[in-house]
């Protein structure tokens, strides 16, 4: 009888300790751990020429870096607000772990640095998203893209980088400037396209 009482008491104490730890102590302690803070930055953008002739290809080289902590994903986005199709955009080379993807108008995109489905918007113009999953701290990746403008005049290239999850302000680049179709800041690089 005494053995049974001791056994029951020991098991009861063990369970009280376990459920207290699992349901209260550990959750409290782990929720106070701050989320990782990646810092997205575009360190280099090179255009093959400031002016091109209609029909001539424009080459864009973009380099992105994560200057903060590890990111689960970081995107370097190159947008072409003058283009409504992706058929004259080519990825010449890149050193990202995953293959960059072409975004055609009409596709769903997230917006305002949010990763939830209810913030989705429809793409209005063509773009390329080069990304790494995960993008470790301090790592740098480059993509070289070729695009052929379809009309003469001012041809604009939008460039930005976003780290996910977007845990703080420095997780996106640039910090201000023009706002794109996703309501996110971009750097603009205009090129003049002239008649042949």
Partner 1 sequence: MNYFRYQEYLEVYGLGRKLFAGYVLVSLGMLLAAAGGSWDITNHLLNKPETFFAPPHAVLYSGAASAVVGTVLVFFASKSGGRSAGRMIWPVKLVIAGVVMLISAAPVDFGWHSAFGLDGLFSPPHFVLVSGMVVGSAGALAGLAQSTKRLPSVLIVIAILPIWLGASGMIDMLSLPFSETEYFNFNPHPTLGVVVATLAFPFLISACLIGSSALAGKRFGVLSMAGAAFIIIGILTSIIPNSALTPTIPFYLSSIIPIVAADALLAFSRSRFSLYAAGTIVSLAFFMLYYPLITYTYNEVFESKVVWPSMIAQIYFEMIQNVFPLVAFPTAAMGILGALLIDRLARNKKYYNNIQQLS
Interaction site with partner 1 (CB under 8 A) = 3-4, 7, 10-11, 14-15, 17-18, 21-24, 26-27, 30-31, 33, 35-36, 70, 72-73, 97-98, 115-116, 133-134, 164-165
Helix (H) or strand (E) holding 19: helix 2-20
74/64 Cα distance (integer angstroms): 9
Least gap, CB of 122 to partner 1 (angstroms): 20
183/143 Cα distance (integer angstroms): 24
172/184 Cα distance (integer angstroms): 9
Q: Cβ(40)–Cβ(162) under 8 Å?
A: yes
* Closer by beta carbon to partner 1, 32 or else 175: 32
* Closer by beta carbon to partner 1, 2 or else 195: 2
Least gap, CB of 187 to partner 1 (angstroms): 26
Least gap, CB of 113 to partner 1 (angstroms): 12
Closest by Cα among 154, 156, 149, 127 to 58:
149
* Closer by beta carbon to partner 1, 10 or else 49: 10
Least gap, CB of 134 to partner 1 (angstroms): 6
Residue in this structure with the two tokens 């390329």, named with its chain if needed = 128
Least gap, CB of 128 to partner 1 (angstroms): 19
* Closer by beta carbon to partner 1, 10 or else 92: 10
Q: Cβ(73)–Cβ(133) under 8 Å?
A: yes
107/31 Cα distance (integer angstroms): 36
* Closer by beta carbon to partner 1, 74 or else 82: 74
Looking from the CA of 89 toward its CB, the CA atoms found within 13 Å total: 24
* Closer by beta carbon to partner 1, 14 or else 108: 14
């Amino acid at each position: 009888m005494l053995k049974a009482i001791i056994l029951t008491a020991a098991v009861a104490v063990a369970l009280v300790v376990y459920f207290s730890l699992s349901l209260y102590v550990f959750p409290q302690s782990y929720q106070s751990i701050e989320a990782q803070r990646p810092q997205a930055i575009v360190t280099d953008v090179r255009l093959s020429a400031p002016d091109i002739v209609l029909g001539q290809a424009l080459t864009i080289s973009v380099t992105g870096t994560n200057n903060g902590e590890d990111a689960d994903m970081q995107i370097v986005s190159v947008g072409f607000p003058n283009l409504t199709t992706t058929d004259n955009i080519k990825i010449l080379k890149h050193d990202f772990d995953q293959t960059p993807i072409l975004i055609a108008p009409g596709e769903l995109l997230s917006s305002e640095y949010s990763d939830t489905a209810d913030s989705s918007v429809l793409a209005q113009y063509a773009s390329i998203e080069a990304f790494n999953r995960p993008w470790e701290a301090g790592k740098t990746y480059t993509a070289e893209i070729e695009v052929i403008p379809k009309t003469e005049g001012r041809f604009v290239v939008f460039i930005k980088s976003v780290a996910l999850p977007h845990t703080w302000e420095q997780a996106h680049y640039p910090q201000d400037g023009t706002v794109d179709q996703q309501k996110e800041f971009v750097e603009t690089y205009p090129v003049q396209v002239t008649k042949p």
